[in-house]
Every structure is written in C-alpha cells, then in structure tokens.
Amino acid sequence: MRSPVRHYVGGGFDGSGVPFPLVDPVRGTTAGEAPAASRELVDRAVDAARAALSGPWASWSPAERARLLHRIADGIEARFEEFVDAECADTGKPRELASTVDIPRAVANFRSYADLLVGRAERSWNTPTPDGRGALNYTVHKPLGVVAVISPWNLPLLLLTWKVAPALATGNTVVAKPSELTPGTACLLAEVMAGAELPPGVFNLVHGGGGDAAGQWLTEHPGVDAVAFTGESRTGSTIMRAVAGRLAPVSFELGGKNAGLVFADADLERAVEGTLRSAFTHSGQVCLCTERVYVERPVFDAFAEALAAGARELTGYGPMVSAAHRDKVLGYLGKAAADGRILAGGGVPRFGDDRDGGFWVEPTVLTGLPEDHPAVREEIFGPVVHLAPFDTEEEALALANAGPYGLAATVWTGDVSRAHRVAPALDVGIAWVNTWNLRDLRTPFGGVKASGIGREGGDHSLDFFSEPMNVCVKL
Ligand SMILES: NC(=O)C1=CN([C@@H]2O[C@H](COP(=O)(O)OP(=O)(O)OC[C@H]3O[C@@H](n4cnc5c(N)ncnc54)[C@H](O)[C@@H]3O)[C@@H](O)[C@H]2O)C=CC1
Ligand SMILES: O=C(O)/C=C/C=C(\O)C(=O)O
C-alpha cells in the first residue's frame, strides 16, 4: 500500500476532502486513496501563496533561491527509491524507466534552473539623448505572482518539476495540482519542500480532478496570476477560457501526433531501433512519441518487417495508466483492424497471472490506413504506430506537416544536406535527426499549432515566469 496522499497548504499537510480511489494499472486493483480538495481548500492554497509573496520569500536573492533548488534536488536524491516506488505504483511504468528517466530528470530540473538562475544576465542599454548626457536603460525581472502548475499522469514528477523549478527560481509562489491518477510523487515532493527551509505558502499542493474540481477552481481563481499546464489540447482550450476574463498568461505543452520520416539513405538498423524507442517508450504515453512513420518506398517493406519483428519481441513494457485510457487505445485498434492491416500486436497481452486484470495493450504496428483515418489523425497516446510509404522529399514533408498538431518529429537520413533541409521545414517545436528524445534542458521546448503555446526550457522558462520591467535613468 502507498503512503498517504495529502495536500500541502501554507506549510502544513492536510488530508481533508472526499477520498477518491487510486488504482494499480498493472493489476487493475484498488491500491489506496487520495483526498479531493474542496473549493475552500483551493482558496486557502491560493491565499497562502499570495501571502507568501510579501513575506520573507520576497527578499530572497537569486543565489539563495538557487541554493534552495539544490536543496530540493538533494532531498529528492536522498529519497530516490521512495520516489521511484511511488511513480511506479501510480503509473505502472517499468522501474527501469522511473529510475533512469523520471526521477533523475526531476533532480536535473531543479539543478539546471538553479544554475541558469545564477548565470542569468540583466540586459542594459546606453541611450543617446539630445543634451549629450544620455540615459541608462536596464531590465529588472520580477516574479509574476501566484502561479498554478497543472500536470498530467504520464511523467508525473518530471513534468510537475519542469514547471515548479523555474517558477520558484524566478521568485513566484506556486499552487500545484498533479493529475488525480498519479498524485504520489507530488506528495513526496511536498515532504521534501517541507524539509528544505522554504517559507510557508511558497509551494502548495492540492489534489483532485480537473473539470468542476481542483483544476478548474484553480484556473478560474482571481488570485492566480498565471497558469503553466501540460496535458490534452482540449483541456488547454478550457483553461484559456477560464483565464481569459482576467488576461492571465499561460504556458501550454499540449498533445501531439508526431511523425517520423525514414529516408532510403538512412542507416536502417538505427532507424528501426530509434523508432522502436520513439513509438514504444512508456508504452507510447509520452507526448513526444512517434505515432506515424513515413518511409521512402524502396525501404518500406524492409523497415516495416524489421519494426514489426522488433515490436513483437518487446518485453518489459508497462500498461496504460487507467481502464479508460486502455479502452480509448483499444477503440482506435478496433477501427484500425477493420480499415487497415495490423503488422504486430493489436490486442491485449495475456500473462496468466494477476496482471491480466491490468490495463495492458500490446506494442502495435499498423499500416494501410488512409491519412484521414482517426488512428492516423488523432493522438492515441498508446503503444501504436502507423506506417505509410512516400516517394519524394516534398511528399514526406507534406505528410508530416498535415494535421492539427506540431510538437515533435524525427528524421532518419544519412545525407547531411537533407537533414538540414528537411528538419527546419517541419512544422514542429522540436525535430530530432537520427535520434529521439535527446534533451538539453537549455533548449526551447514546446509545440506549434494545437501542440502548445509558448516555449519552456532554459531562459524561455525563466522569461515566462518573470515580468520584465524597464528602468530608464537620465544621466
Ligand atoms: N503532454 C501531452 O501531450 C499529454 C497528453 N495527454 C492526452 O490527454 C488525454 C487525457 O489525459 P489526461 O491526463 O486526462 O489529460 P488532461 O488534459 O485531461 O489532464 C491533465 C491535467 O489537467 C487537469 N485538468 C483536466 N481538466 C481540467 C480543467 N477543466 N481545468 C483545469 N485542469 C484540468 C487534470 O486534472 C490533470 O491534472 C490522454 O489520453 C492523452 O491523449 C495526456 C497527458 C499528457
Ligand atoms: O521535457 C521533456 O523532456 C518531456 C516532456 C514530455 C511531455 O511534455 C509529455 O509527455 O507530456
């Protein structure tokens, strides 16, 4: 059984609220419960965050805030195995994934924003004036105020800390709401915060659902100055409407339907290995995963055969996060089976043990569907990839750039000129050439079209969470 999930408001833990069940995705059994925050508790969290803005936190220097971020990172490392346990219990993801990606990246999120903060430059300009004495203009960065951070269930701690770290680095106060499906590591993070000598109210955590629950009450709250959100594009639209009346800024990382392009000049083995990783990491439940691959016709059959064989051989993958999500993914597979061909997977694996009650879907390779088919156009967010051939570079680009999303893409080619021609022509926020998900936390991260608003990462996050103010001094 998990340790109790609690809210953290004004520097104190709080277990109030109607409990909702937490389900083990591996077996489908109830594995604990979490309290749903009342509207009154959400109000208290926002009030605590507002009050903390004018408390001792306001006078912390960037160097002090950077030291705090390192203390938080140290605190996560000190309880590393507990964090891994909680992340696996909530998501069902393989231990290997949580211990090499999710939890180390949460640590890196705090450390890298600490380092960026210390090295951040304030710009200045010498401005000529008619009297010849000039003026000095310089920029001061102020916090936005109370920031709501709303995060999804797929990479719970990674995506929460990706926003909490820069928000605190820049002097804001935070009210965080993790996904109701995966509250465990956020609660451990609050325990780490409680031991990190953070003034009360600087970091607050409330649990509960999205619509007509903690998420909505937070985004509609007049005391929330900005919203940073990762999740579904439709939820992003709802949140935009919620903040529109008070014109609060938003930073959104939303869905994707990411394309991979495999050219005939690519190292095919490397392209297959990379596509297995980009399609099936965390069973496809990463917004950056590849869901459609376009392969140059001369190598289509060889690529399809090798990818399908690789998918059939995959072991050690995890389940879908919930029964509802499993049913959504299987719904797409049902339609795809009727309208196209399944080259690998396509169903539910049988284990002959208690995992048969869990939310599993086989790694699946599809082909033969038209481009307007729901399984090719809509974000499935599961272990499903569709393959289609192309004949020219122009056609490949047109196929990749079609559709409402524009988050990420991969290009597999052995031709350097082609790589530099094709990658920038893709309508996405990030294009990888001969690799996937190689991340440098200083680079801009986000999507175009329905995949997001704004960029996070490096200075982009520090800029979003700050209000730049110009001071002009006549000399
Ligand atoms: N980064 C991405 O691209 C992600 C995409 N998804 C996609 O979204 C689908 C649904 O997953 P969910 O986690 O349910 O995504 P979601 O967008 O519904 O939820 C993400 C977060 O937003 C909150 N939320 C939901 N409705 C809200 C509202 N009206 N106001 C404020 N907060 C709200 C949720 O409680 C959760 O904390 C998945 O099947 C997948 O297709 C899910 C996770 C990440
Ligand atoms: O920041 C990263 O490296 C990963 C981000 C992934 C998402 O935003 C997602 O899966 O939702």
Q: Closest Cα to residue 358, out of 2, 92, 96?
A: 92
Parts of the chain belonging to CATH 3.40.605.10:
7-254+451-474
Which ligand is nearest the CA of 208, by number?
1
Mutate which of 175, 207, 232 for ligand 1? The one with the most ligand atoms within 8 Å of its CB, which is 232
d(Cα 361, Cα 350) in Å, to the nearest integer? Answer: 10
Q: Closest Cα to residue 196, out of 280, 78, 297?
A: 78
Element (H, E) at 416: helix 416-425
Average pLDDT of the residues of the chain: 98
pLDDT > 90? residue 108: yes
Parts of the chain belonging to CATH 3.40.309.10:
258-440
Task: Please tell me the residue having the least CA distance from ligand 1 atom 9.
Answer: 232
pLDDT, tens only, 364-409 = 999 999 999 999 999 999 999 999 999 999 999 999 999 999 999 9
Sign, CA dihedral 118-122-123-129, equals negative
Q: Is the CB of 439 under 6 A from ligand 2?
A: yes
pLDDT, tens only, 419-471 = 999 999 999 999 999 999 999 999 999 999 999 999 999 999 999 999 999 99
Find the 139 Cα to ligand 2 centroid distance in Å. 31
1-15, 182-196, 223-237: the lowest-pLDDT one: 1-15
Find the 309 Cα to ligand 1 centroid distance in Å. 33
Mutual angle of helices 103-118 and 80-91, in 10-degree steps: 120
In the chain, what percentage of residues exceed pLDDT 70? 100
What does the DSSP assignment read for 32-56? EEEEEPPHHHHHHHHHHHHHHHTSG
pLDDT, tens only, 166-178 = 999 999 999 999 9
Which ligand is nearest the CA of 455, by number?
2
pLDDT, tens only, 93-105 = 999 999 999 999 9
d(Cα 369, Cα 371) in Å, to the nearest integer? Answer: 6
Q: Is the CB of 107 under 6 A from ligand 2?
A: no
Task: Please tell me the residue having the least CA distance from ligand 2 atom 11.
Answer: 287
Element (H, E) at 90: helix 80-91
What mean pLDDT is predicted for residues 333-362?
A: 98
Q: Are 44 and 205 in contact (CB under 8 A)?
A: no
Which ligand is nearest the CA of 240, by number?
1
pLDDT > 60? residue 415: yes
Task: Please tell me the residue having the least CA distance from ligand 1 atom 3.
Answer: 255
Q: Are 468 and 454 in contact (CB under 8 A)?
A: no
Q: Are 192 and 431 in contact (CB under 8 A)?
A: no
Residue 294 is given by DSSP the state: E
Which ligand is nearest the CA of 430, by number?
2
Q: Is the CB of 210 under 6 A from ligand 1?
A: yes
Q: Amino acid identity of 170?
A: T
What is the maximal distance between C-alpha atoms in the chain? 87
What mean pLDDT is predicted for residues 42-47?
A: 98
d(Cα 375, Cα 397) in Å, to the nearest integer? Answer: 19
The pairing of beta strand 364-367 with beta strand 341-344: antiparallel
Q: Is the CB of 429 under 6 A from ligand 1?
A: no
Residue 303: which region, alpha, beta or left (left: phi > 0; alpha: psi -120 to 50)? alpha
pLDDT, tens only, 282-321 = 999 999 999 999 999 999 999 999 999 999 999 999 999 9
Residues contacting 313, CB < 8 A, separation 6+: none
Find the 182 Cα to ligand 1 centroid distance in Å. 12
pLDDT > 70? residue 1: no
pLDDT > 90? residue 107: yes
d(Cα 104, Cα 112) in Å, to the nearest integer? Answer: 12
pLDDT, tens only, 181-197 = 999 999 999 999 999 99
Mutual angle of helices 156-169 and 103-118, in 10-degree steps: 10
3-state secondary structure at position 367: strand
pLDDT, tens only, 239-273 = 999 999 999 999 999 999 999 999 999 999 999 99
d(Cα 374, Cα 339) in Å, to the nearest integer? Answer: 11
Find the 29 Cα to ligand 1 centroid distance in Å. 22
Q: pTM for this one? A: 0.97
Find the 156 Cα to ligand 2 centroid distance in Å. 10
Q: Are 361 and 383 in contact (CB under 8 A)?
A: yes
Q: Is the CB of 34 under 6 A from ligand 2?
A: no
Find the 84 Cα to ligand 2 centroid distance in Å. 18
Q: Are 196 and 68 in contact (CB under 8 A)?
A: yes
| Class of the CATH-defined domain 258-440 | alpha beta
Q: Closest Cα to residue 165, out of 73, 83, 84?
A: 73
For tokens 């935070």, the residue is: 174
First-to-last C-alpha distance (Å) of the chain: 67
Task: Please tell me the residue having the least CA distance from ligand 1 atom 37.
Answer: 179
In the chain, what percentage of residues exceed pLDDT 90? 99
What mean pLDDT is predicted for residues 12-23?
A: 98
Fold exhibited by the domain 7-254+451-474: Aldehyde Dehydrogenase; Chain A, domain 1 (3.40.605)
* pLDDT, position 3: 78
Which residues are annotated as catalytic?
A: 253
The residues that bridge with 87 in the sheet, in sequence order, are none
d(Cα 227, Cα 251) in Å, to the nearest integer? Answer: 6
Mutate which of 107, 151, 159, 435 for ligand 2? The one with the most ligand atoms within 8 Å of its CB, which is 159
pLDDT > 80? residue 2: no
What mean pLDDT is predicted for residues 342-352?
A: 98
| ipTM metric | 0.95
Task: Please tell me the residue having the least CA distance from ligand 2 atom 7.
Answer: 287
The residues that bridge with 65 in the sheet, in sequence order, are none
What the block records as the tokens of 342 is: 């399944």
Q: Closest Cα to residue 217, out of 175, 185, 182, 252?
A: 175
Output the CA angle 410-412-415, nearest 5 degrees: 130
Q: Are 218 and 248 in contact (CB under 8 A)?
A: no
Find the 232 Cα to ligand 1 centroid distance in Å. 5
Sign, CA dihedral 452-454-460-466, equals negative
Query: Counting atoms of ligand 2 from 1, which one is nearest the CA of 437?
Result: 3
